[in-house]
A and B are shown apart, each in its own frame.
Chain A
Amino acid sequence: TQLLEQSPQFLSIQEGENLTVYCNSSSVFSSLQWYRQEPGEGPVLLVTVVTGGEVKKLKRLTFQFGDARKDSSLHITAAQPGDTGLYLCAGAPINNAGNMLTFGGGTRLMVKP
């Protein structure tokens, strides 16, 4: 069982649809990051959230950190083919002395034109 559970694992939608990806845990995190990975490349940071209840927007992407800092969501409005990729959440557990990041299993998104 992973510390961070992402859902869904796979998502295939049409251009213009909305979607939400979830990242859940029973652990509390001091911060949580979202990365996007495109084929043949390494993950690239999208956002870091650090405060419970925090909402950050990046164009059509909205990220929310749960009030208890145990979960997060990524909502994409009017998805575009360019949003296709693997979305990874990564958290720094609050009880981890080294503050190392632990990654979720990822959500693979395909947006069809």
Chain B
Amino acid sequence: DVKVTQSSRYLVKRTGEKVFLECVQDMDHENMFWYRQDPGLGLRLIYFSYDVKMKEKGDIPEGYSVSREKKERFSLILESASTNQTSMYLCASSAPMGRRPPLHFGNGTRLTVT
């Protein structure tokens, strides 16, 4: 089974702090994604990566950046956390999109910014 592991289940950070969310997958997937999940809004794509060192903006990239130095690891960075970034963050991976593969999600990181 594909395993996507997010390093933290819960994080509490202060406004203005730099925050790192880490995600590792063990299935050699090319694609990795970061979503945020807010009630009633479903999942919104922040950034995705289809290869090492490659990244593409999703629907809501403002205030975020990402890093993919190794194929199995995709990091989400909040350069200066703000209260409106309090949310559930979900990492996912998949095989190449052309074959309509499923997304495999981690269990999420619930971030609270105070």
Instruction: Give the interface of A toward B (CB within 8 A).
Output: 2, 4, 6, 9, 30-31, 33, 35, 40-45, 48, 50, 88, 90, 92, 98-106
Contacts and interface: CB of A to CB of B under 8 A. Distances in A.
Interface of B: 4, 35, 40-45, 48, 56, 58-59, 90, 92, 97-98, 100, 102-103, 105-108
A40 B108 CA distance: 8
A45 B102 contact: yes
A101 B103 contact: yes
B103 A48 contact: no
26 contacts: A2-B41, A2-B42, A31-B100, A40-B107, A40-B108, A42-B4, A42-B108, A43-B43, A45-B102, A45-B103, A48-B100, A50-B100, A88-B43, A90-B103, A92-B100, A98-B97, A100-B48, A100-B58, A101-B45, A102-B45, A102-B59, A103-B42, A105-B41, A105-B42, A106-B40, A106-B42
Given A30-B100, A40-B107, A102-B45, 20 more contacts: A2-B41, A9-B40, A41-B107, A42-B92, A42-B107, A43-B43, A43-B103, A43-B105, A45-B103, A48-B102, A50-B100, A88-B42, A88-B43, A90-B43, A92-B97, A98-B97, A100-B48, A102-B59, A103-B42, A105-B41
A45 B40 CA distance: 19
